[in-house]
Amino acid sequence: MREAYHVELEQLADHLAAMSVQVADAMERATRALLEVDLSLAEQVISDDAKVDDARAQCEEQAYALLALQAPVATDLRTVLAAIHAAESLERMGDLALHVAKAARRRHPEPVLPDSVRPYFAEMGEVAVKLARQTEQVIHSKDVEAAKTIESEDDQVDDIHRHLFTVIMDRDWPHGVAAAVDVTLLGRFYERYSDHAVSVAKRMIFVVTGKMPGYGSDEDL
C-alpha cells in the first residue's frame, strides 16, 4: 500500500512539473508577443490558459484523493500540502502570462512598449521564464540549494521592476500617461510571476526540511 502511495506522489510531482513547463512556455510566448507585436502568439497564450486551469484542477483533485486514501505522515503529508499550494501558484503564473498576452492583443497593431523600455522587458521575460524552468527541475529533484537559487535570481527581476519606476517617473518621460500605465502594469505582472516561482521553490524546501522559509515580499500574493 505504501509503495503504491509513493507512486501516486511521484505522479503528482510529475503533474506539477508539467504545469511549470506550461507556464514557462506561456510567458515565453507572451513576451515574444509583447516585444514582436505578434497577435497570433498572444492569441495562443490566451487560448492555452484553460489548459493551465485544467492542470491545476487535476493536481488538486489528485492531492485531495491522496489525503483521503490514508492519513499521510511527515514528508508524505508535507508533499501533498505543498502540491496544493504549488498548483495554485503555478496557475497564477499562467494567469500573469495571460495578462501580458492580453495587453499585447489590446494594443495591436500598435506596440505596447516604447522602444526605450523594451530591453528591460526582454530581460525580465528571459529571467522569469528561466525561473519557471528551474522550478520544474526543483519539483523533480527536491534540491534545496537549487530552490534557494531561484529566490536569489528573482532579485534580478525585482531590480528591473524598481528601475522601471524611475524611468516612467522621469520628468522627461515623453510617451504619455497611457504608456506609463502599461509599463507599470506589465512590470508588475513579471515581478509577481517571478515571486510565484519563488513561492513554489519555497514549498519544495518545506517538503524536504519541514520548515517554511520566510516569505517577505510575497506574503500578499
Domain CATH for 23: 1.20.58.220
Give me the number of domains the chain comprises: 1
Structural domain for 184, as ranges: 2-220
Q: 28 Cβ partners below 8 Å, 6+ apart?
A: 125, 129
Q: pLDDT at position 67, please?
A: 87
Mean pLDDT by 10 residues, the chain (221 residues): 81 96 98 98 98 97 87 83 96 98 96 96 98 97 95 95 95 95 97 98 94 58 37
Q: 43 Cβ partners below 8 Å, 6+ apart?
A: 101, 105
In terms of residues, how long is the chain?
221
Cβ density class 137-155: b for 16+ within 10 Å, e for less: ebbeeebbebbbebbebbe
